[in-house]
A and B are shown apart, each in its own frame.
Chain A
Amino acid sequence: MSSKTQILDFIRGRYPQAEIDESQDIFALGFVNSLFAMELVMFVEKTFGVTIPNEELRIDNFRTADAMSALVSRLSSDLAVA
């Protein structure tokens, strides 16, 4: 299962009433609060074995499943290089 699919499954699991695709801005839907943001970051770090540094905790990295998947790829490649 791709990282994008896993991220979408997590968001849909928390907000099953929302219709979300991989390019949809979840912030525009209006249900993202600091609690969900924390859960989302914990989910990404746990599921993909990465640590998101402070400088990557930017809204644009979390707007869409596409953006989060790209973040995971970037951090995973950093991990591989290290």
Chain B
Amino acid sequence: MTRLTMLKEVLKSLFSKPSTEPLAEVEKGVFSPYSRGCPVLIPEKCTGCSLCAMNCPSNAITMKIVGEKNVGGKTLPVRRPEFNYFKCIYCGLCAQVCQFNAIEMRRDLVILRPRSKC
């Protein structure tokens, strides 16, 4: 008897549509609509405080010297964070710790595109 129910289940599955999601959707390489996205710097807002680099869980942010500025007669290096997207775990912590909202999490960028057909 239980075998018959199982047979019914098998037949039902055999004639219904597969639930695999088509590859075409994946190929677009976009982030899921709910994901945190990918960190991108807004250079105008950044003050170079390196709070993001200190707190990054995967050490994916390095502070890079991009120029010099003159504050009260002293020349100080201007630092900007640089993201290593291969190390990044896309947790969005950098955007949350930033006091000046200088890091934006964007979902429309394609950083790593999955390989197309074999």
A, B co-complexed: no
